[in-house]
Amino acid sequence: MSASLSTLQAARAPAAPRGRNYARRYWYFAAPAAIVVAAVIVFPWIFTLFMSVHDWKVTGDTPFVGLENYTKMLSDDRFLWAVWRTLYFTAASVVAPVILGVWAAVCFASNFRFRGLARTIFVLPMMATPVAISLVWTMMFHPQLGVLNYLLTSVGLPPSSWVYESDTVIPTLVMVETWQWTPLVMLIVLGGIASLPQDPYEAARLDGASAWQMFVHITLPLAWPFIVVAAVIRVIDALKAFDTIYVITLGGPGTSSETLNILLYQTAFAYYDLGYGSAMVVVFFVLIMLVSLVLLRVRQKQAWQ
Amino acid sequence: MSATTRSSGGRRTMNAHRVRRLLGRVGLYLSVLVLISPAILFFLWMISLSLKNEADNTAFPPVFIPNPPTIANFVDVFQKNDFLSYTINSIIVSFSATGLALLFGVPAGYGIAKAKATKAAVLILVARITPGLSYLIPLFLLFQWLGLIGTLTPLVITHLVITVPIVVWIMIGFFEGLPGELEEAALVDGATIWQAFRHVAMPLARPGIMVAMILSFIFSWNNFIFGVVLAGRSTRTLPVAVYNVLTFEQISWGPLAAAALVVTAPVLLLTLLMQKEIVAGLTAGGVKGG
């Protein structure tokens, strides 16, 4: 993301005198990649649009049905619930990691012994294979034999039913998502904090400001653009969350954790209703683009005036 | 700092300052401990599960430390399932997808950075935003028509959806950060732009290429969604195989945890060994696959 900003800024800078001539020739470098991107990224986008206006099952005819797949969505309760659930899951999976991630970034910005090691350990959850960690979480959530309920009851708390009841399943999945993705927020914000000027801190220290005051009045406002970037990335990733939900609950119990991405998968690859699935993809894509654009606009206003 | 405290007033403030500093230190260490313990405890528990026999794994209260530890679960994983061939599948897919992505992506990153092609960069950004599933429906049909389902080719091709944007993205940032003078000097001396790229810019960008390679390998290795749709029985990659252990075999925790550990161990080791490169790449790009 930071790269696009620097490209944007660079584009505004006056071009070198010979730049124009050379710019065109540099396109040859991008040509092979452009072909690959066209084949595996752009072609699917266009073909998905095409399929979304057809009644497309895996076998048989594929008659043109216009916008029928789209209007069907409006009265499809399962779809509407999935949208609502996705938004709920996303909101929670942004707020928790951003708060914890900022806290972690502030901690990792100061010097202490074993900082490198601690930071590496902290980053492990986001690098680990999602399927593998999801399986271990599933074992930990087991209502009778799981280690989490043992830990809860041993400190006097009531056991939870974790992913086995519709009330607790989404908060539990948010917990897994938070555990997994707080490190990414930490890294982005830490990168921001590391680039901040040191003078305000020294001035504040001379005035006898406390660590908390310095955080609220210096770190938070200065690092705010990075926190917003981290939040945008988190929104995008939470909307798309798939592996952990698929492996841990497969949308269950019932459909109580069925987010858009899971419903999409089921529609296309369990029921093989590819036309309807494609229409959902289009709506899902538009939703993600809208959210990202709104958030990026907010960010640009704040950071780059 | 001590000079200022002294000038601003007496021993008492100095002591108060010292106490506050000490409290700050304690707070910092406590915070770090609280922040990293979920990761530590999780992975220790994963290891513990994989080293215990079935009776200990399903005991309540849980047995925390394997006594005695057993490697029977790991033996089980490789004997009862075809994990060796799944490992080979994973290696082929991740290495090919990463290699091809570097081949296409490094020059592309250079071209986009030099031509200051903002729009091309935005396209890569949109690819990063798009959910992986949305590529799958058309590509699934395409591979079916081509009769490629059941081979490793569709997996390699779809993994390019993840690896190419990562490589291009990181390389754009990296080439933009390089000073252009050396290449310009080479061009003045009569080198072609290809030579300037190949012999001047690329050697300088080696650390960036390393970062791009590691991250694209890891995210390809971890990918699940493409494999679960496109892989046949014999072309499963490790994440898909370990998921199938859960669904189709009798569920026993020891072998399952052992299988999960086998799948993710290469990635965890790579992270521990290459932490500097990985942190640099993630900080710059906010990259994530799928």
Contact status of A281 with chain B (Cβ, < 8 Å): yes
Contact status of A278 with chain B (Cβ, < 8 Å): yes
Give how far the C-alpha of residue A214 lies from the chain's centroid of Cα atoms, to the nearest Å: 30
CATH code for the domain in which residue A161 is found: 1.10.3720.10
- Looking at this predicted complex, what is its ipTM? 0.86
Contact status of A157 with chain B (Cβ, < 8 Å): no
Q: Which chain A residue shows the shortest CA-CA distance from B257?
A: A136
pLDDT in the model for residue B33: 94
**Mutate which of A20, A129, A258 to disrupt the B interface (most B C-beta within 10 Å)?**
A129
Chain A partners within 8 Å of B122 (Cβ): 4
Q: What's the domain count of chain A?
A: 1
Chain A partners within 8 Å of B125 (Cβ): 1, 4
pTM for the complete prediction?
Answer: 0.87
Length of chain A as a residue count: 305
Candidates A33, A25, A35; CA nearest to B106 is: A33
User: What number is the average pLDDT over the span B34-46?
Assistant: 95
Supply B54's token pair.
């079935």
pLDDT in the model for residue B11: 64
Range name among A100-104, B46-50, B187-191 with the lowest pLDDT average: B187-191
**Mutate which of A20, A24, A28, A36 to disrupt the B interface (most B C-beta within 10 Å)?**
A36
Residue A21 lies in a domain: no
> What is the domain range of residue A160?
69-303
Residue with tokens 């990691």: A97
Give how far the C-alpha of residue B63 lies from the chain's centroid of Cα atoms, to the nearest Å: 32
Strand partners, A273: A57
B112-132 pLDDT per residue, tens: 888 877 777 777 778 878 888
Between A155 and B59, where is the model more confident? A155
Q: Inter-chain contact A26–B193, Cβ cutoff 8 Å?
A: yes
- Residues B181 and B187: their CA atoms lie apart, in Å, by 10
Residue A52 lies in a domain: no
> How would you label B134-149 residue by residue, b for 16+ Cβ within 10 Å and e otherwise?
bbbbbbbbbbeeeeeb
Candidates B145, B150, B139, B146; CA nearest to A59 is: B145
Residue A33 lies in a domain: no
Helices and strands (H and E) in chain A: how many:
16, 0
pLDDT tens track, chain A, 305 positions: 333 444 434 444 444 445 445 667 787 888 888 888 888 888 888 988 898 888 888 777 778 887 888 988 889 999 999 999 999 999 999 999 999 999 999 999 988 888 889 999 999 999 999 999 999 999 899 888 888 988 998 898 888 888 988 889 999 999 999 999 999 999 989 988 888 888 888 899 888 888 888 899 999 999 888 898 888 889 989 998 999 999 999 987 989 999 999 999 999 888 888 889 999 999 998 888 888 788 777 655 544 33
Report the topology of domain B72-285. Answer: MetI-like fold (1.10.3720)
| Among the partner residues A44, A129, A285, nearest to B139 by beta-carbon distance | A44
Contact status of A270 with chain B (Cβ, < 8 Å): no
Q: Which chain A residue shows the shortest CA-CA distance from B6?
A: A206
